[in-house]
Structure 1
Protein backbone atom coordinates (compact mmCIF):
# COMPACT_ATOMS: atom_id res chain seq x y z
CA UNK A 1 0.00 0.00 0.00
CA UNK A 2 2.81 2.40 0.90
CA UNK A 3 4.64 1.70 -2.36
CA UNK A 4 1.48 2.22 -4.43
CA UNK A 5 0.76 5.56 -2.71
CA UNK A 6 4.38 6.65 -3.17
CA UNK A 7 4.30 5.67 -6.87
CA UNK A 8 1.07 7.67 -7.41
CA UNK A 9 2.60 10.74 -5.74
CA UNK A 10 5.75 10.37 -7.83
CA UNK A 11 3.69 10.22 -11.04
CA UNK A 12 1.68 13.26 -9.93
CA UNK A 13 4.81 15.33 -9.18
CA UNK A 14 6.47 14.28 -12.44
CA UNK A 15 3.34 15.29 -14.33
CA UNK A 16 3.27 18.68 -12.60
CA UNK A 17 6.93 19.26 -13.37
CA UNK A 18 6.46 18.45 -17.06
CA UNK A 19 3.33 20.62 -17.26
CA UNK A 20 5.16 23.63 -15.82
CA UNK A 21 8.09 23.23 -18.21
CA UNK A 22 5.79 22.93 -21.20
CA UNK A 23 3.58 25.92 -20.40
CA UNK A 24 5.61 28.25 -18.15
CA UNK A 25 8.34 29.30 -20.55
CA UNK A 26 8.97 32.99 -20.02
CA UNK A 27 11.64 35.17 -21.57
CA UNK A 28 12.99 38.25 -19.87
CA UNK A 29 12.19 41.42 -21.81
CA UNK A 30 14.90 43.12 -23.83
CA UNK A 31 15.56 46.67 -22.58
CA UNK A 32 17.27 49.22 -24.81
CA UNK A 33 18.05 52.69 -23.39
CA UNK A 34 18.17 55.95 -25.34
CA UNK A 35 19.13 59.44 -24.19
CA UNK A 36 18.51 62.82 -25.84
CA UNK A 37 19.54 66.16 -24.25
CA UNK A 38 20.34 68.67 -27.00
CA UNK A 39 20.78 72.24 -25.69
CA UNK A 40 18.52 73.78 -28.32
CA UNK A 41 15.89 71.09 -27.95
CA UNK A 42 15.35 68.47 -30.53
CA UNK A 43 13.22 65.86 -32.15
CA UNK A 44 13.87 62.76 -34.13
CA UNK A 45 13.30 59.05 -34.29
CA UNK A 46 15.08 55.92 -33.16
CA UNK A 47 14.64 52.86 -35.38
CA UNK A 48 15.30 49.57 -33.62
CA UNK A 49 15.97 46.36 -35.52
CA UNK A 50 14.68 43.63 -33.25
CA UNK A 51 17.01 40.81 -32.29
CA UNK A 52 15.50 37.89 -30.34
CA UNK A 53 17.18 36.91 -27.05
CA UNK A 54 17.21 33.23 -28.08
CA UNK A 55 16.13 30.93 -30.89
CA UNK A 56 12.39 30.35 -31.29
CA UNK A 57 11.51 33.76 -29.78
CA UNK A 58 8.96 35.96 -31.55
CA UNK A 59 7.95 39.58 -30.90
CA UNK A 60 5.02 40.02 -28.52
CA UNK A 61 4.77 43.68 -27.46
CA UNK A 62 6.77 46.81 -26.65
CA UNK A 63 6.41 49.80 -24.36
CA UNK A 64 8.26 52.97 -23.34
CA UNK A 65 9.61 53.25 -19.78
CA UNK A 66 10.84 56.75 -18.88
CA UNK A 67 14.00 57.05 -16.77
CA UNK A 68 14.38 60.86 -16.94
CA UNK A 69 11.83 63.10 -18.56
CA UNK A 70 11.84 66.88 -18.58
CA UNK A 71 9.77 68.74 -21.18
CA UNK A 72 9.88 65.82 -23.57
CA UNK A 73 8.15 62.69 -24.72
CA UNK A 74 8.67 59.54 -26.77
CA UNK A 75 6.05 57.49 -28.59
CA UNK A 76 6.17 54.18 -30.43
CA UNK A 77 4.86 55.05 -33.90
CA UNK A 78 5.36 51.73 -35.67
CA UNK A 79 6.01 48.22 -34.50
CA UNK A 80 5.74 44.77 -36.03
CA UNK A 81 2.67 42.67 -35.47
CA UNK A 82 2.69 40.22 -32.58
CA UNK A 83 4.34 36.99 -33.62
CA UNK A 84 6.87 38.62 -35.95
CA UNK A 85 9.90 36.33 -36.14
CA UNK A 86 13.15 38.32 -36.58
CA UNK A 87 14.86 35.17 -37.89
CA UNK A 88 12.53 35.03 -40.93
CA UNK A 89 11.46 38.65 -41.46
CA UNK A 90 12.63 42.17 -40.78
CA UNK A 91 11.01 43.26 -37.54
CA UNK A 92 11.60 46.94 -36.82
CA UNK A 93 10.23 49.28 -34.22
CA UNK A 94 10.26 53.08 -34.54
CA UNK A 95 10.13 55.57 -31.67
CA UNK A 96 9.55 59.29 -32.33
CA UNK A 97 10.88 61.60 -29.62
CA UNK A 98 11.09 65.32 -28.92
CA UNK A 99 12.07 67.64 -26.10
CA UNK A 100 12.11 71.39 -25.48
CA UNK A 101 15.33 73.50 -25.21
CA UNK A 102 15.55 73.12 -21.41
CA UNK A 103 14.48 69.49 -21.59
CA UNK A 104 16.05 66.10 -21.61
CA UNK A 105 14.80 62.63 -22.23
CA UNK A 106 16.07 59.22 -21.17
CA UNK A 107 13.86 56.25 -21.88
CA UNK A 108 13.97 52.50 -22.29
CA UNK A 109 12.16 50.51 -24.93
CA UNK A 110 11.05 47.31 -23.23
CA UNK A 111 10.47 44.54 -25.77
CA UNK A 112 8.56 41.44 -24.70
CA UNK A 113 9.05 38.08 -26.40
CA UNK A 114 7.16 34.79 -26.61
CA UNK A 115 8.51 31.35 -27.38
CA UNK A 116 7.02 29.77 -30.50
CA UNK A 117 4.88 26.77 -29.59
CA UNK A 118 6.41 24.74 -32.43
CA UNK A 119 9.92 24.87 -30.92
Structure 2
Protein backbone atom coordinates (compact mmCIF):
# COMPACT_ATOMS: atom_id res chain seq x y z
CA UNK A 1 0.00 0.00 0.00
CA UNK A 2 1.39 3.40 -0.99
CA UNK A 3 1.86 6.24 1.48
CA UNK A 4 1.77 8.90 -1.28
CA UNK A 5 -0.61 11.74 -0.37
CA UNK A 6 -1.38 10.40 3.11
CA UNK A 7 -0.46 12.06 6.40
CA UNK A 8 1.78 9.90 8.60
CA UNK A 9 3.70 10.25 11.86
CA UNK A 10 7.43 10.69 11.31
CA UNK A 11 8.76 11.41 14.82
CA UNK A 12 7.02 12.56 18.00
CA UNK A 13 5.24 15.83 17.19
CA UNK A 14 6.12 15.56 13.48
CA UNK A 15 3.72 14.58 10.70
CA UNK A 16 4.40 14.47 6.97
CA UNK A 17 2.67 14.00 3.64
CA UNK A 18 4.72 12.75 0.70
CA UNK A 19 3.57 14.19 -2.64
CA UNK A 20 3.44 12.26 -5.90
CA UNK A 21 7.09 12.27 -7.10
CA UNK A 22 8.41 13.15 -10.52
CA UNK A 23 11.13 11.23 -12.34
CA UNK A 24 14.00 12.83 -10.38
CA UNK A 25 12.41 15.24 -7.88
CA UNK A 26 10.01 14.88 -4.95
CA UNK A 27 8.39 17.03 -2.26
CA UNK A 28 6.82 16.46 1.12
CA UNK A 29 5.02 18.75 3.55
CA UNK A 30 6.13 18.41 7.17
CA UNK A 31 4.28 19.79 10.22
CA UNK A 32 6.06 20.28 13.56
CA UNK A 33 4.67 20.97 17.02
CA UNK A 34 6.76 23.39 19.12
CA UNK A 35 9.96 21.64 20.22
CA UNK A 36 9.45 18.64 17.92
CA UNK A 37 12.55 17.37 16.15
CA UNK A 38 13.46 15.76 12.89
CA UNK A 39 16.30 13.62 14.23
CA UNK A 40 19.79 13.97 12.79
CA UNK A 41 20.40 11.71 9.81
CA UNK A 42 22.10 11.59 6.42
CA UNK A 43 21.01 10.60 2.93
CA UNK A 44 22.64 10.84 -0.50
CA UNK A 45 19.90 13.16 -1.79
CA UNK A 46 20.25 16.93 -2.12
CA UNK A 47 17.51 18.67 -0.12
CA UNK A 48 15.98 22.12 0.01
CA UNK A 49 13.54 23.07 2.76
CA UNK A 50 11.17 26.04 2.44
CA UNK A 51 9.55 27.28 5.65
CA UNK A 52 5.84 27.87 5.05
CA UNK A 53 5.06 28.76 8.68
CA UNK A 54 6.90 29.23 11.97
CA UNK A 55 10.62 29.05 12.75
CA UNK A 56 12.87 26.00 12.51
CA UNK A 57 16.43 25.54 13.73
CA UNK A 58 18.44 23.31 11.40
CA UNK A 59 21.73 21.69 12.37
CA UNK A 60 23.83 20.82 9.31
CA UNK A 61 27.22 19.22 9.96
CA UNK A 62 27.16 20.75 13.47
CA UNK A 63 26.30 24.29 12.31
CA UNK A 64 22.98 25.76 13.48
CA UNK A 65 20.82 27.99 11.26
CA UNK A 66 17.30 29.27 11.95
CA UNK A 67 14.88 29.84 9.09
CA UNK A 68 11.46 31.49 9.33
CA UNK A 69 8.39 31.63 7.09
CA UNK A 70 9.40 32.56 3.54
CA UNK A 71 13.03 31.38 3.92
CA UNK A 72 14.86 28.35 2.54
CA UNK A 73 17.85 26.24 3.44
CA UNK A 74 19.94 23.89 1.28
CA UNK A 75 21.18 20.59 2.66
CA UNK A 76 23.96 19.09 0.53
CA UNK A 77 24.04 15.44 -0.43
CA UNK A 78 25.49 13.33 2.40
CA UNK A 79 25.43 16.12 5.03
CA UNK A 80 24.44 15.11 8.58
CA UNK A 81 21.40 17.21 9.48
CA UNK A 82 18.36 17.56 11.72
CA UNK A 83 15.72 20.16 12.57
CA UNK A 84 13.90 21.45 15.64
CA UNK A 85 10.74 23.58 15.60
CA UNK A 86 11.01 26.72 17.71
CA UNK A 87 7.23 27.24 17.36
CA UNK A 88 4.46 25.44 15.43
CA UNK A 89 6.00 25.15 11.96
CA UNK A 90 5.46 23.79 8.47
CA UNK A 91 8.17 22.93 5.95
CA UNK A 92 8.03 22.01 2.28
CA UNK A 93 10.98 19.66 1.69
CA UNK A 94 12.26 18.95 -1.83
CA UNK A 95 14.66 16.13 -2.68
CA UNK A 96 16.59 15.09 -5.74
CA UNK A 97 16.84 12.36 -6.78
CA UNK A 98 13.58 10.82 -5.49
CA UNK A 99 13.93 9.28 -2.03
CA UNK A 100 12.86 5.76 -2.83
CA UNK A 101 13.24 4.92 0.90
CA UNK A 102 10.24 7.18 1.58
CA UNK A 103 8.20 6.59 -1.58
CA UNK A 104 8.41 2.79 -1.75
CA UNK A 105 7.41 1.87 1.82
Which structure carries more helix by proportion?
A: 1
Computing the radius of gyration over CA atoms, which structure comes out larger, 1 or 2?
Answer: 1
**Structure 2 length-normalised TM:** 0.41
**Structure 1 length-normalised TM:** 0.37
Higher relative contact order (CA 8 A, sep 6+): 1
